[in-house]
């Protein structure tokens, strides 16, 4: 039986990062993976979807070339080539993880891993033991009873990025990050798209102003948006698919070639031996302490299988902290109130901290500032000036409570707010930090200025 200091079960952005950090700290490390290295994020999530979205954005530029004083005749898209490029990007990233495993002398154990008592893992009949086992098995597309996926007419995100034929009509059920990203992608290349959201606003976890702006942008681009609506049943017996949608006005039948179910995720915790070991699970999540220890000594869990936000960068941070705690380093628990969230449709969305509604519900006395990109010289020059930056501060102490952005490139801007909040920076300090001009990022400073009634360019 092979013996390790640390074995990681799963090679997604939580698992492979944990394995690398473990190796850096001198632990003899192995990683168990049943499929492609890099997990869902690199192979079927974050990375390939961004490749699809980039193709869509380039195509949009070509269609609007005349807005920039340029002429492009008969711009066309090749759906198969777009999908092929996306898969190529994913494959190269997966090979990059393979290189990192070799560079860091991490053993790759291929196969389905099942936890055993006594800090052991069975991988397709071969047992391995370790002083510490980290569970990082991630999640998959969640299926609703009234929306069963058949992989052809009712699909999840994996099928959505590798369809053999572009659908003429697509219904997207759910308007979280996955739903709105695919809605934007398919709409931009000519598919007729309808988004169905159960809650009153699309991207419902975002600030309401952001949700309303995205809905306006989507509708302007021809995407039909149905909120406070529920798909109660689907009929796949015909050539396409019919969805019965319950709304405040009554029932409506939507006809489409394909329905994309984007209603959340389901953790991959079945049949991996949790019950055999006695690891406690609650509502589909493995319970852990601040340092990702389960109730059974020697067994840890990180990423989507735990109660924190199901985001790649969260899983990576958890993996590093978990391993450093095992190494007996001084570490502090992650502040889950300061996790940035990013959505890569057009316009992009990025946010961190409290929404305005949440701040008011907490009874806080707040200052709110907002700066539209329509007043930004860089945004105007770039031709993408939809959206805004919105900031929320505690009125008494100047604490930066929340930051919410929608617009071109905002996913690259949100880190300023995350770092500032980590350093407990006040509104006045942000305001007096000189931002370069002309940039999109100076909209952050302008929004802060608006909160303190000092805005210049609005």
Please, which pLDDT band fits residue 36 given cuts at 50, 70 and 90? confident
Q: Residues forming the annotated binding site? A: 50, 113, 174-181, 197, 264, 304
Pairing of strands 285-286, 281-282: antiparallel
Q: What is the mean pLDDT of residues 202-211?
A: 97
pLDDT at 410: 97
**196 and 171 Cβ atoms separated by less than 8 Å:** yes
User: Cβ-count burial of 212 within 10 angstroms (0-12 exposed, 13-18 middle, 19+ buried)?
Assistant: middle
Whole-number pLDDT of residue 43: 85
Taking a C-beta distance cutoff of 8 angstroms, is the pair 115, 277 a contact? yes
Strand 250-256 with 241-247, pairing: antiparallel
46 pLDDT band, cuts 50/70/90, is: confident
Strand partners, 193: 170
- Over residues 26-48, mean pLDDT: 90
Pick from 42-51, 53-62, 226-235, 308-317: least confident:
42-51
DSSP label at residue 436: P
Q: Quick count: other Cβ atoms within 10 Å of Cβ 24? A: 14
**344 neighbors 398 (Cβ within 8 angstroms):** no
Give the pLDDT score at 1. Answer: 66
Q: Which residues are annotated as a binding site for FAD?
A: 50, 113, 304
Each residue's pLDDT tens digit, 362-391: 999 999 999 999 999 999 999 999 999 999
The least confident of 16-30, 31-45, 290-304, 425-439 is 31-45
Structural domains in the chain plus CATH codes: 2-140+266-336 (3.50.50.60), 154-263 (3.50.50.60), 347-451 (3.30.390.30)
Q: How far is CA 417 from CA 21, 397, 413, 424, 435, in A?
A: 27, 17, 8, 10, 13
pLDDT at 398 over 70: yes
Q: Which of 210, 205, 203 is nearest to 389 (CA)?
A: 210
**Helix, strand, or coil here: 415?**
helix
Dihedral Cα 188, 191, 192, 197, nearest 10 deg: -70
Mean pLDDT within 217-221: 97
**Confidence at 45, pLDDT banded by 50, 70, 90:** confident
For the residues of 51-99, what is the DSSP string, one character each? HHHHHHHHHHHHHTGGGGT----S----HHHHHHHHHHHHHHHHHHHHH
CA pair distance 251, 329, nearest whole angstrom: 58
Query: What is the residue-averaged pLDDT of the chain?
Result: 95
Identify which of 324, 388, 385 has the alpha carbon closest to the alpha carbon of residue 356: 388
Q: From CA 25, how far away is CA 193, in angstroms rounded?
A: 49
Percentage of the residues of the chain whose pLDDT score is greater than 70: 100
CA-to-CA distance for 146 and 134, rounded, in angstroms? Answer: 35
Q: Summarize the confidence of residues 1-26 as an average pLDDT.
A: 95
pLDDT in tens, 410-444: 999 999 999 999 999 999 999 999 999 999 999 99
* Through-space distance between the first and last CA atoms of the chain, rounded to whole angstroms: 69
What confidence tens digit (pLDDT) does each residue in 268-299 have? 999 999 999 999 999 999 999 999 999 999 99
What pLDDT is recorded for position 40?
Answer: 83
Annotated binding-site ranges for NAD(+): 174-181, 197, 264
Question: What confidence score (pLDDT) does residue 457 get?
Answer: 87
State the DSSP string of 184-196: HHHHHTT-EEEEE
Residues tagged active-site: 437
Provide φ and ψ at 415, rounded to 5°. Answer: -60, -30
Q: Return d(Cα 243, Cα 252) in angstroms, integer.
A: 8
> Can you give the pLDDT at residue 42?
84
């Amino acid at each position: 039986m092979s013996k390790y200091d640390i074995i990681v079960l799963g090679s997604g952005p939580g698992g492979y990062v944990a394995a690398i950090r473990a190796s850096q700290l001198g632990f003899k490390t192995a990683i168990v993976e049943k499929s492609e290295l890099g997990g869902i994020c690199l192979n079927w999530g974050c990375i390939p979807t961004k490749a699809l979205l980039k193709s869509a954005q380039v195509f949009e530029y070509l269609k609007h070339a005349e807005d920039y004083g340029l002429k492009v005749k008969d711009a066309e898209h090749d759906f198969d080539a777009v999908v092929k490029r996306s898969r190529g990007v994913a494959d190269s990233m997966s090979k990059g993880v393979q290189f990192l495993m070799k560079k860091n002398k991490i053993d790759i154990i291929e196969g389905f891993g099942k936890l055993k008592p006594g800090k052991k893992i069975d991988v397709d009949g071969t047992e391995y033991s370790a002083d510490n086992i980290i569970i990082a098995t991630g999640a998959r597309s969640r299926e609703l009873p009234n929306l069963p996926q058949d992989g052809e007419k009712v699909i999840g995100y994996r099928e959505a990025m590798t369809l053999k034929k572009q659908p003429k009509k697509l219904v997207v059920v759910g308007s979280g990050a996955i739903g709105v990203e695919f809605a934007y992608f398919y709409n931009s290349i000519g598919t007729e798209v309808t988004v169905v959201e159960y809650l009153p606003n699309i991207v419902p976890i975002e600030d309401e102003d952001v949700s309303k702006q995205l809905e306006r942008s989507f509708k302007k681009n021809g995407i039909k948006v149905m909120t406070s609506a529920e798909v109660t049943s689907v009929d796949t017996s015909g050539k396409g698919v019919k969805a019965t949608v319950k709304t405040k006005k009554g029932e409506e039948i939507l006809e489409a070639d394909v329905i994309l179910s984007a209603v959340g995720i389901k953790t991959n915790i079945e049949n991996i031996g949790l019950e055999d070991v006695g690891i406690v699970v609650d509502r589909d999540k493995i319970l852990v302490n601040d340092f990702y220890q389960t109730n059974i000594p020697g067994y840890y869990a990180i990423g989507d299988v735990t109660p924190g936000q199901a985001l790649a960068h969260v899983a990576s941070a958890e993996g590093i902290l978990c391993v450093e705690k095992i190494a007996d380093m001084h570490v502090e628990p992650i502040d889950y109130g300061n996790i940035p969230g990013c959505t890569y449709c057009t316009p992009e969305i990025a946010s961190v901290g409290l929404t305005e509604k949440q701040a008011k519900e907490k009874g806080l006395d707040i200052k709110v500032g907002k700066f539209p990109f329509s007043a930004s010289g860089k945004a105007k020059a770039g031709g993408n000036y939809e959206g805004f930056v919105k900031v929320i501060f505690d009125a008494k102490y100047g604490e930066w409570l929340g930051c919410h952005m929608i617009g071109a490139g905002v996913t690259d801007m949100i880190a300023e707010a995350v770092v500032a909040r980590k350093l407990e920076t006040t509104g006045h300090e942000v305001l007096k930090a000189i931002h370069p001009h002309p940039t999109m990022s100076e909209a952050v400073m302008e929004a802060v200025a608006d909160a303190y009634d000092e805005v210049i360019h609005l």
